Structure 1
Amino acid sequence: ISRYGGFDGRLLSSITIEPNLWPTSAVIDWFNIVERTPDLPDRAGRMQEAEQILRSRLNFQGTTMGFSTERRDFLWWLLVSTDGNAARALLSLMDSPAWREDIPRMARGALGRQLRGRWDTTVANAWGVLAMEKFSMAFEREPVSGTATASIGGRSQSLDWSSNPKGRVFDYAWPNQRAELTVRSGGTGKPWVTIQSLAAIPLKEPFSSGYRIKKAMAPVEQQAQGSWSKGDIIRVRLEIEAQSDMTWVVVSDPIPAGASILGTGLGRDSRLATRGEKREGWVWPVFEERSFEGLRSYYEYVPKGSFALEYTMRLNSEGAFQMPATRVEAMYSPEMLGEIPNETIRVSPAR
């Protein structure tokens, strides 16, 4: 009714307005009602309150976007989904000057929510098409042409948009000293730029950028209490906390050289030793790789929240083993990751 100018703001006096208790879809509806109803009492304050609630629920991690209330926002019986909320929020907030700087990130985050090139429901796809059309009209009205140039540390690379309309990736080595990255576009339109920095830095403490990891090792069979020996069997438990929903996530945990992960069904395996392994949470791997390097579990979808997995390994070699970090990463959004360093494992000869 408010969309077509037929809503009377006085009708709201009969209900209690508490948008902070509402699902995100209702907050977006409320924001649209307030925006389209000029005679609403305390209109400016109510609009500011709705914007603050939406901003507090938005969760940006690199190039991805989610909502802190996604678990309770999926109201399938009302044809409401979290992907639809992302598209509707982008569509509703695009004209607000306070959100001007956030709209490109919201558009990129909404596109990043697609799975196999589409959003989760038909309604969400309809809202998504409308949101992207409006975004293109507001931010990409002019076609990109000419040449783009990026330079750092005396090295420069250029891109001709006529021969590379989809853009390309520029790779630069780390400069020996502090340097400034300069990106210029000569021509029409305003192209988008995504900047990533990669560096091999020794990990000394846990790092979290979207995922938090806890790792514990418990003996299943141990020859000497308090120390590891060749032939011991260890139960490894990984607890992972995801800060937002994400598709295609991989968990990688290394094992000492020469060790073997049990449960593969190959020779010298032990089905008895793997009894008691637990998996917790609403996630299931689509593929699990148990190699001589470590365990890798691939998940098609990981929702916000915590989950845990366990596996069992046997120590087959003696010595001191230094291992790389345990890592969780979103495969198509690598800025969403979590790492923890692994302590040196010392294995004594069999007793």
Structure 2
Amino acid sequence: MEGLLGHRKAGRWGNTQENAFVLLALDRYFQTYEKTTPDFLARAWLGDRYAGEHAFRGRTTERQHVEVPMAALPGGPGGNDLVLAKEGPGRLYYRIGLRYAPTSLRLDPADHGFTVERAYEGADDPADVRREADGAWRVRAGARVRVRLTLVAPERRYHVALVDPLSAGLEPLNPALALTGTLPDETDTDVTEVGAPGLGGPRGAGSWWWWTRPWFEHQNLRDERVEAFTSLLWEGVYTYAYVARATTPGAFVVPPPRAEEMYAPETFGRGSTDRVVIE
């Protein structure tokens, strides 16, 4: 189901034939898994504490949202079980999410569906950027820096956002602006093959043609972060790179780069916190 819906573009599939067959597949899914009309009561408990209930009668897109404050969650080792129960016929779908702010600025990498790494290097002279034994990056003031992100997707992902927070001392250089000037040609941003109905090509017989483009569909170079987006990301290893200038001397803590499925944020990954010294 997720795969079929994830391949839509602007709310529809590639052509009328695809629309028809996908709708037939969705109907078969519905007749198999959603045949029973919902008529049940759902309840939730956090440990021995009652968290709420909601009755679902008939077919509807209605959602019931319950928020539990962090103060109600147990601290320290151990914890309480979250228990969901259903009484009555029909299928219950649920999502459990957690919004939080870390207490420490020094974050380790996390892999919950993506692996993300970040590295800095001199765009014009390798000596402009070096990494110290303690992991800190030292950058020459005024130098142009290439920021290289590596993204690993172990399986197909949908509506992916890759976000890299900028060091406060770096300013991204947008090649689309005339004032930026000429940037180094090599950015190591991967390209991917794309197929569409058309003329037969080297991929074999059939009315398909192929071309290459960057793996992302859109990017933003903002004052405080750089973003890349794609609606479909096949499993594999991808790189994304951009160039920034070290404009402000100082020592800066840089939040980790992060990738996530925008409509399923529980599928995410992040790199580690970095320390950048510009002098």
Per the normalisation by structure 1, the TM-score is 0.58
Match of 1:216 in 2: 119
Find 2:52's aligned residue among 152, 157, 162.
Answer: 157
Deviation at 1:329, TM superposition (A): 1.5
Deviation at 1:198, TM superposition (A): 4.3
RMSD across aligned positions (CA):
3.2
Contact 1:262/1:271 (<8 A) preserved: no
Deviation at 1:137, TM superposition (A): 3.5
Q: Which AA in structure 2 matches 1:173?
A: P
- Whose strand fraction is larger, Structure 1's or Structure 2's? 2
Match of 1:327 in 2: 258
After the TM superposition, which residues 93-104 of structure 1 pair with which residues of structure 2 at under 5 Å, given as runs? none
**CA deviation profile, 1:193-242 (whole Å, cap 9, x unmatched):** 23334444466433233333332211135686743232121111222232
Deviation at 1:121, TM superposition (A): 6.3
Q: Which AA in structure 2 matches 1:262?
A: L
Query: Does residue 182 of structure 2 align to residue 277 of structure 1?
Result: no
Find 2:68's aligned residue among 172, 191, 206.
Answer: 172
Q: Which AA in structure 1 matches 2:53?
A: S
Please say which of residues 277-286 and 116-125 is displaced more in the overlay. 116-125
Query: Does residue 83 of structure 2 align to residue 182 of structure 1?
Result: yes
Contact 1:274/1:311 (<8 A) preserved: no
Instruction: Give the number of equivalent residue pairs.
Output: 241
Q: Which AA in structure 1 matches 2:68?
A: Y
- Change in Cα spacing, 1:122 to 1:270, as seen in structure 2 (3 Å) is closer
Query: Does residue 231 of structure 2 align to residue 300 of structure 1?
Result: yes
More contact order relative to length (CA 8 Å, sep ≥ 6): 2
**Matches of 1:293 and 1:264 in 2, distance apart?**
17
Match of 1:314 in 2: 245
**Matches of 1:346 and 1:138 in 2, distance apart?**
59
Deviation at 1:291, TM superposition (A): 1.2
Secondary structure at 1:279's aligned position in 2? Answer: coil
**CA deviation profile, 1:251-282 (whole Å, cap 9, x unmatched):** 11111114211125558x43234443342221
Contact 1:258/1:292 (<8 A) preserved: no
Match of 1:253 in 2: 164
**Matches of 1:163 and 1:173 in 2, distance apart?**
31
**CA deviation profile, 1:68-103 (whole Å, cap 9, x unmatched):** xxxxxxxxxxxxxxxxxxxxxxxxxxxxxxxxxxxx
Please say which of residues 176-185 and 219-228 is displaced more in the overlay. 219-228
* Identical aligned residues as a percent: 22
**Matches of 2:174 and 2:29 in 1, distance apart?**
51
Match of 1:145 in 2: 39
- Whose helix fraction is larger, Structure 1's or Structure 2's? 1
- Which structure has the greater CA radius of gyration? 1
- Change in Cα spacing, 1:162 to 1:228, as seen in structure 2 (3 Å) is same
Per the normalisation by structure 2, the TM-score is 0.71
Secondary structure at 1:344's aligned position in 2? Answer: strand
Match of 2:198 in 1: none
